[in-house]
Amino acid sequence: MEAAARADRQLAGRRFLVTGGTRGIGRGVVLAAARAGADVVTCHRQDGEAVDSLQRELAATPGKHRVLRADAADERDVERLLDECDAGLGGLDVVVNNAGAFRPVPYPELDPAEWAATVQGNLTAAHLVTRRALPLLGPGSSVVNLGSTVARIGMAGGAHYTAVKAGLVGLTRSLARELGPRGIRVNTVSPGRIATEALDELPPEAAEHQRRLFSSFTALGRLGTVEEIARLVLFLGSDRASYITGQDIHADGCV
């Protein structure tokens, strides 16, 4: 990934905000963008080794990069985060709404608090960040929302998560129409099952079971990689995707 990213100088000078960028897909996007020449701001909710190691990697990568503590689902934190982007970068060219999480819950046990937290953390967070970022985005800029293939195929124990990811697709399409006259593109990337560090943190037997199980669902017979999703996000944030907007692009190995 690093060699390919370094060769892609089309991102040189572009300014990225990636929410939830210290682990998983978000981390992959942050590092790929920085190595491709972009200046990158990212945020996290909790301190830890993932934050520290990302800061070390970014410090060794040319460019203006910042790792800030901020909750993308909290309006005051979002205000502070975007103020930092304005002051430190002078604006933004790409916003990647990656932050989000959920806890699997069988539907009969899905209480209002869990539903509300999932909506706030996944859908409302993308809305808050995008709305606040608008004054910093100019013609040719791009918003990329991280969705999920569950919005299309459903998920037992994840009705709340499926609902918010489907809502994110609707938000994307409406914003693409509303912001298109301003030259701002908006797209969704919907990954399938991706091999992240969360899988590696499982007990070995459980991790191998999940790899075999989810790989069997795909036409390619394997899980996707963080690097593959990051390359797609970077493409949508580049001028090469200048006529692509309002799309929900599935990267799932054909499930």
Q: How confident is the model at residue 2 (pLDDT cuts 50, 70, 90)?
A: low
The stretch 26-35 carries a mean pLDDT of: 97
Q: What is the pLDDT of residues 38-89, one digit of tens each?
A: 999 999 999 999 999 999 999 999 999 999 999 999 999 999 999 999 999 9
Answer whether residue 6 shows pLDDT above 60. Answer: no
Tokens 């493409």: give the residue. Answer: 235
DSSP classification of residue 181: G
* pLDDT, position 187: 98
Quote the CA–CA distance of 239 and 9 in Å, as a whole number.
11
Indicate the pLDDT class of residue 9, thresholds 50, 70 and 90: low
- Structure confidence by residue, pLDDT tens digits, 105-118: 999 999 999 999 99
List active site positions.
Answer: 161
Q: How far is CA 157 from the centre of its chain?
A: 22
Beta-bridge partner residues of 17: 41, 95
In angstroms, the Cα distances linking 78 to 33, 99, 133, 157 are 21, 12, 9, 30
Q: Which residue in 232, 234, 224, 231 sits closest to 248, CA to CA?
A: 232
**The predicted structure's pLDDT at residue 69:** 97
pTM of the model: 0.93
Helices and strands in the chain, H and E counts: 11, 9
Cα–Cα dist 151/4, whole Å: 31
Q: Looking up tokens 């298109």, which residue turns up?
A: 180
Report the pLDDT value the prediction gives residue 61, as an integer from 0 to 100. Answer: 96
Q: Which residue has the higher pLDDT, 191 or 8?
A: 191
The reported pLDDT for the residue numbered 210 is 87
pLDDT value at residue 7: 47
Give the residue with greater pLDDT, 6 vs 94. Answer: 94
Averaged over 109-132, what is the pLDDT?
Answer: 97
Q: Are 35 and 2 in contact (CB under 8 A)?
A: yes
Amino acid letter, 80: R
Of the listed ranges 116-130, 138-152, 199-213, 231-245, the least confidently predicted one is: 199-213
When pLDDT is cut at 50, 70 and 90, the band that residue 204 belongs to is confident
pLDDT value at residue 214 = 84
Whether the pLDDT of residue 4 is over 60: the answer is: no
Instruction: Give the span between the Cα atoms of 39 and 92, in whole angstroms.
Output: 9
Q: Is 87 exposed, middle or buried (0-12, 13-18, 19+ CB in 10 A)?
A: exposed
Measured between alpha carbons, how far is 212 from 207 in angstroms, rounded to an integer?
9
Q: What are the structural domains of the chain?
A: 2-248 (3.40.50.720)
DSSP helix/strand/coil, 238: coil
CA 78 to chain centre: 16
Cα–Cα distance for residue pair 99/21, rounded to 1 Å = 8
CA separation for the pair 57, 28 (Å, rounded): 12
- Contact assessment for residue 122 and residue 165, using Cβ atoms and an 8 Å cutoff: yes
Phi, psi of 244 (to 5 degrees): -110, 115
Which pLDDT tens digit goes with each residue over 154-179?
999 999 999 999 999 999 999 999 99
Share of the chain above pLDDT 70, in %: 96
Is 80 exceeded by the pLDDT of residue 1? Answer: no
